[in-house]
């Protein structure tokens, strides 16, 4: 690779960056005619969408200087937008959260930003809108830190049959579930294929060493609620963070698709999956005993806002 060619590519990336920032209007000194800068609104966004954030979390997620973030948070505290609480497990650590005033301040900024992006997308036909989002997803995937030894991809011919077969085998081996579960998975997958809406639904296949090792689905529950279904990772591929990554992709897609809430149904015996859901911000909202798949189980509904 010559120095000239990589310099030319770097210039092309910089040119695109300038173009895109003009498109979304973030070169304005203050965002959306508000009193807050773009970076301040980014910090408010993180606080509005994630629980138990610390100053260190914000610096890491946004790539910002610790001193700058500290000054911004202090300013938010003075205005009554942010409150600090000591972490229960470490009194030296402060957890940050938006106050009621903070959420009321952020809400119109978020709404205005959503309207601006919708207006930008409406200039394009629907198919082009979808291609644009897919291209953005691909860029993000390529620039993110590579995950060790695996990749996430769209399903290919034969993958749906693999999902049914491997889910049936895994749950029979690990939990003793009978063929009723295989029938349920087959029904879910068949419905996904028949009624697939690319604007509102998605499936990811995790692949390692050229073979599928995991999967997850997002389907429409209703106009505002997405449902996460059929999360599974082969035992040989666990410990690489694949389950967490699959759930993160579901949440990211659901937000882009315009959902405001995500739900899922699981069972109390699936302790590994439940830990992933809890770490992703889901909370248990309902549970009830049932007899299914040849076992006495406790079904659980978990949910979170997006």
| Residue 301 sits in the same domain as residue 156 | yes
| Residue 170 sits in the same domain as residue 261 | yes
| Residue 110 sits in the same domain as residue 159 | no
Question: By the 8 A CB rule, do 243 and 276 touch?
Answer: yes
Distance CA 188, CA 95 (A): 40
Query: How does strand 90-98 pair with strand 211-220?
Result: unpaired
| Residue 175 sits in the same domain as residue 297 | yes
Name which of 103, 105, 65 is nearest 55 in CA terms. Answer: 65
| Residue 118 sits in the same domain as residue 159 | no
Residue 138 domain-assigned (yes or no):
no
Name which of 295, 251, 241 is nearest 270 in CA terms. Answer: 295
Distance CA 198, CA 118 (A): 18
Q: What is the CATH number of the domain that holds 57?
A: 1.10.10.10
Domain of 259 in residue numbering reads as 151-305
Residue 131 domain-assigned (yes or no):
no
| Residue 161 sits in the same domain as residue 288 | yes
- Report CA Rg, the chain: 22
Beta bridge partners of 292: 295
| Residue 12 sits in the same domain as residue 55 | yes
Per-residue pLDDT of the chain (306 residues; tens, 9 = 90+): 344 577 888 888 888 888 887 776 654 545 556 777 778 888 888 888 877 788 888 888 888 888 888 898 999 999 999 988 876 666 677 788 899 998 998 888 888 878 878 888 898 888 888 888 878 877 877 777 655 678 899 999 999 999 999 999 999 999 999 999 999 999 999 999 999 999 899 999 999 888 999 999 999 999 999 999 999 999 888 888 899 999 999 999 999 899 999 999 999 999 999 999 999 999 999 999 999 999 999 999 999 998
Distance CA 280, CA 241 (A): 12
Query: How does strand 151-153 pair with strand 202-208?
Result: antiparallel
Number of domains composing the chain: 2
Strand, coil or helix: 40: helix
Residue 143 domain-assigned (yes or no):
no
pTM of the model: 0.57
| Residue 208 sits in the same domain as residue 93 | no
| Residue 17 sits in the same domain as residue 67 | yes
Apex CA 222: angle with CA 48 and CA 263, to 5°?
Answer: 55
């Amino acid at each position: 690779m010559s120095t000239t060619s990589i310099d030319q590519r770097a210039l092309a990336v910089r040119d695109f960056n300038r173009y895109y920032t003009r498109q979304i209007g973030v070169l304005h000194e203050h965002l959306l005619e508000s009193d807050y800068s773009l970076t301040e609104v980014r910090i408010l966004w993180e606080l509005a969408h994630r629980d138990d954030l610390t100053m260190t979390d914000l610096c890491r997620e946004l790539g910002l200087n610790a001193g700058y973030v500290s000054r911004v948070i202090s300013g938010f505290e003075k205005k009554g937008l942010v409150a600090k609480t000591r972490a229960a497990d470490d009194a030296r650590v402060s957890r940050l959260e938006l106050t009621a005033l903070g959420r009321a301040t952020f809400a119109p900024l978020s709404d205005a930003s959503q309207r601006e992006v919708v207006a930008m997308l409406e200039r394009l036909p629907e198919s082009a809108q979808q291609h644009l989002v897919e291209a953005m997803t691909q860029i993000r995937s390529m620039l993110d830190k590579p995950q060790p030894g695996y990749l996430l991809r769209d399903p290919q011919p034969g993958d749906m049959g693999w999902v049914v077969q491997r889910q049936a085998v895994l749950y029979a081996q690990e939990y003793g579930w009978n063929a009723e579960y295989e029938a349920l998975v087959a029904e879910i997958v068949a419905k996904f294929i028949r009624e697939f809406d690319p604007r509102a639904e998605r499936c990811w296949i995790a692949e390692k060493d050229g073979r599928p090792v995991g999967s997850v689905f997002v389907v429409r529950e209703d106009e505002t609620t997405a449902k996460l279904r059929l999360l599974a990772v082969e035992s040989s591929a666990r410990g690489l963070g694949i389950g967490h990554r699959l759930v993160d992709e579901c949440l990211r897609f659901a937000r882009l698709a315009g959902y405001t809430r995500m739900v899922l149904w699981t069972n109390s015996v699936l302790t590994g999956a439940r830990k992933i859901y809890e770490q992703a911000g889901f909370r248990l909202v309902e549970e009830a005993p049932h007899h299914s798949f040849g076992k006495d189980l406790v079904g659980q509904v978990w949910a979170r806002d997006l």
